[in-house]
Copies of this chain bind each other. A is one copy, B any other.
Amino acid sequence: MNSPANITDPLVLFMPSGKRGRFPVGTPILDAARTLGVYVESVCGGRATCGRCQIEVQEGNFAKHKIVSSNDHISPKGAKEQRYEKVRGLPEGRRLSCSATVQGDLVIDVPQDTVINAQVVRKAASDRVIERNAAVQMCYVEVDEPDMHKPLGDLDRLKVMLEKDWGWKDLLIAPHLIPQVQGILRKGNWGVTAAIHRDMDSSRPFIIGLFPGLKNEAYGIACDIGSTTIAMHLVSLLSGRIVASSGTSNPQIRFGEDLMSRVSYVMMNPDGREAMTKAVREAVNTLIGKVCEEGGVDRHDIFDCVFVANPIMHHLFLGIDPTELGQAPFALAVSGALQFWAHEIDIDVNRGARLYTLPCIAGHVGADAAGATLSEGPYRQDKMMLLVDVGTNAEIILGNRQRVVAASSPTGPAFEGAEISSGQRAAPGAIERVRIDPLTLEPKYRVIGVEQWSDEEGFEEASWATGVTGICGSAIIEVVAEMYLAGIISEDGVVDGSLAATSPRIIQNGRTFSYLLREGRQGEPRLTVTQNDVRAIQLAKAALYAGVKLLMEKQGVETVDTIRFAGAFGSFIDPKYAMVLGLIPDCDLDEVKAVGNAAGTGALMALLNRNHRREIEKEVGLIEKIETALEPNFQQLFIDAMALPNKVDPFPKLSAAVKLPPRKTVSEDGIAGDTTPRRRSREERAARRNRD
C-alpha cells in the first residue's frame, strides 16, 4: 500500500520486540508494525473507533540504534483521532497507530498489558510478558448491501468483505450463527464485528461470533482442573490483561479425596462417571461466573477457553471413563491436544466459544504437567532443569534444549498432611514454619493466621483466635528436616530415644519415640511427630527422589542445574529443607524456585498465544516418558533415598550452605549406634546389584 522504502526513509524501531525498518513519510504506524510482523491489535480495521491499536512514542536519543525519536516525528492527531480522544479518551502520550503516521525516525513502544504474575504468595516468579497472538480476533467490516444483480447470500458477502479488509480466506462459520446473519447485518446497518477463530483444528478460520456494529471486547479463560482445586484466569484477548483470577474446590471431592478413589467410584457406580463429569463442569461454570463478576465481564463475551488437568480430571471433564487410568498399562483414551465447541462440554460461555485442552504426556503425567512444561520451558534453555509438581502423585520433568524426559512417582498424600498424625490442610491454625534449637531441642513455630512466632511476645494471645490445630504440609517438611539437623533423628530417620533422658520433647510411644512439638492448650490437640510420621515423609520423599534420579540416569547427569517447584505445595516449602530431607537433588539453593500454578500459567500462555499450542503439542511428542515401575533399578534408588538426605548421594552444595549433622544410625528401637557415615559409591552399588 506504500511505496517501497529506501535508505533515506525514516527508521522506525518497535519496542519491546526490537523489530525495525524504514518506512516512507506518511506510512501509518499500524501498517509499519504489520509489515514488520509486530503484533498490534485492531478491531475496527483502521477506522480510529476501537482504540485497540494504541502506541507510545519514546522520546530521546537512542544512540545504540542511531535514532533520535521525538513526538515531532509522528503526525499530529487528525480529525478521526481527535474525535476518538474526545469521545473515549486517550491516556497521555498514547496515539492511535492506525491514524498516526511516520514523519521521522521513531522509537515506538507497543504497550504490553499482558504480564503474567505467577499466582504465588511467597516467592513470586519473575514477571513475564507473553507475546500476544490469541486464537480469536475481532474484525469490524462494512458489508455491501444485497444486490439483485449479484445474488451472493448475505453471509457470502460478509465473507467477501472479511477477506478483502482482513485477509481471511476460506472462512467457515459456526452453524448456530447461520440463521442470525441476516438479522445482525441489518441491525448493524451493514456494519458488523466478526469474532474470528484462527486456531480451529480444521486449520480454516471460523466466524464464531457476529455482532452488530463495533464489538470491542473479547475474553478468554485459562483453567487448571486439579484434583482438589480448580483455578482460573479471565483474560482480555484484546489487551492481554488478566481481568480476574480465582479458584474453587473441586466438588468431586465428595466422590473421593484422591484420584484413585474417584476412579473406584466410577467403577463401582453405573452413573459415577456421569455424576463426576457433571460435578466438575458445574464447578467450572460457577467459577466462570465468579471471575466474570469479579472482572465485570459478561460470560457471553468469552470466546476461547484453555484447560489443563491431570489425566483423570482431563478424562472426567471431557466425559471419558477414566477406569483404564486406574490400572496398568494406564492407557489414556486420548493423549493429543483436543478442541471442542465449549457448549459440547456444557461450558456456558458464548455459544461460538472454543475449548482447547493441552495434550497429556502419559497416563500419570497429564495436561497439567504439559502446561507446567510449557510455562517453565525446560526445552527452551540449556541448563538441565528439574521441574516437579508435588501432589498425591508427583510429576517430574527433567531436561533442556537437547532432550526432555518425564515420569511420575507415587508420593502418596503425606506431603499434603494426610497420613501424618498431627497433619492438616493449610488453613488458619495450622503450623506452617518450624525451627528446633539443636542444643535444647526446643521448637519455635509460626501458625497460619498469627503474625508472631511461637516464642515471640503476644503469640499466645494472638493464637487464641485460630487455635493451633495441626501441622500443614510445608511444616511437616520443615519439622522432619529440623529434627534431622538437630540430631533428633538419624540419617535413617529413626527418632533417637536416648535423647529422652535429656529432653522432655522426646517421648516414648510404645516401642518408638516421638517429638513433642506442642503440648496444646485447653481444647487443642497435642501435636507430636511420631516415628510413623517420619517414615511416611521418608517414603514420600524417597519415591520422588528415586523418580528424579531415574530421569537423571536417563539423561546421564550427576547433578541438575536448576529446579522448579510447581503447584501450591511447592510454593510454601523452603527449598533448603526440601533439600535437607533429600526430596530434591543437590543444587544451588538460589536455583531452586517455586513457580506456583505453572500448569495454569501454561494454560494462560496457550490462551494468549496460539503458537504456544503448537509448541507444546510438538514438545509433548518429543518428551520421553519413563515408567518408573518398569525400571529395574527404581527399587534400589528408592531404598537409597529413604535416608536423609540420601544413603549414597553426596549433597556438596547443600553441605556448603547448611551444616549437616554427622551421620549416626539409630536402631528402630531408638538406640544410637554406629555414627560413621556410610556412603556407598555408584561402583559399590552396581557391584552389589550384580551380585544379587
Contacts and interface: CB of A to CB of B under 8 A. Distances in A.
A282 interface: no
A28 to B, nearest CB: 33
A450 to B, nearest CB: 46
A153 B333 contact: yes
B335 A182 contact: no
Given A179-B320, A627-B148, A336 B203 contact: no
B334 A156 contact: yes
A361 interface: yes
Nearest to A630: B148
Contacts of A328: 148
Interface string A294-338: 000000000000000000000000111100100011111111101
Interface residues of A, number: 52
A3 interface: no
Contacts of A204: 201-203
Interface in A155-197: 155-156, 159, 172, 175, 178-179, 181-183
Nearest to A332: B153
B182 A331 contact: yes
Nearest to A319: B179
A182 B329 CA distance: 13
A151 interface: yes
A154 interface: yes
Contacts of A154: 324, 331-334
A152 B365 CA distance: 12
A413 B204 CA distance: 44
A76 to B, nearest CB: 43
Contact of A182 (B152, B175, B200, B321): B321
Contacts of A324: 146, 154, 182
A335 B151 contact: yes
A182 B147 contact: no
Question: How many of these chains are in the complex?
Answer: 2
B627 A334 contact: no
Interface in A581-599: none
A227 to B, nearest CB: 20
A455 interface: no
A179 B318 contact: yes
Interface of A is mostly: loop
A396 to B, nearest CB: 14
Contacts of A202: 172, 200-204
Contacts of A629: 148
A175 B344 contact: yes
A154 B325 CA distance: 12
A450 B203 CA distance: 62
Contacts of A332: 151-154, 156
A318 to B, nearest CB: 6
A39 interface: no
A230 interface: no
A185 to B, nearest CB: 9
A362 interface: yes
A241 interface: no
A153 B321 contact: no
B182 A146 contact: no
A146 B333 CA distance: 10
A175 B333 contact: no
Contact of A334 (B153, B329, B334): B153
A329 B348 CA distance: 38
A363 B148 contact: yes
A445 interface: no
A639 to B, nearest CB: 22
Contacts of A334: 153-156, 178, 181
A474 to B, nearest CB: 31
Given A182-B331, A335-B156, A151 B630 contact: no
A425 interface: no
Interface in A660-689: none
A182 B178 CA distance: 35
17 contacts: A146-B329, A146-B330, A150-B625, A151-B363, A153-B331, A153-B333, A153-B360, A154-B331, A155-B333, A156-B334, A156-B336, A178-B320, A178-B333, A179-B320, A182-B321, A202-B203, A202-B204
Interface of A: 145-156, 159, 172, 175, 178-179, 181-183, 200-204, 318-321, 324, 328-336, 338, 340-341, 344, 360-363, 365, 625, 627, 629-630
Given A146-B329, A148-B329, A155-B334, 12 more contacts: A148-B363, A149-B627, A153-B332, A153-B335, A154-B324, A155-B333, A175-B341, A175-B344, A178-B319, A178-B334, A201-B204, A202-B202
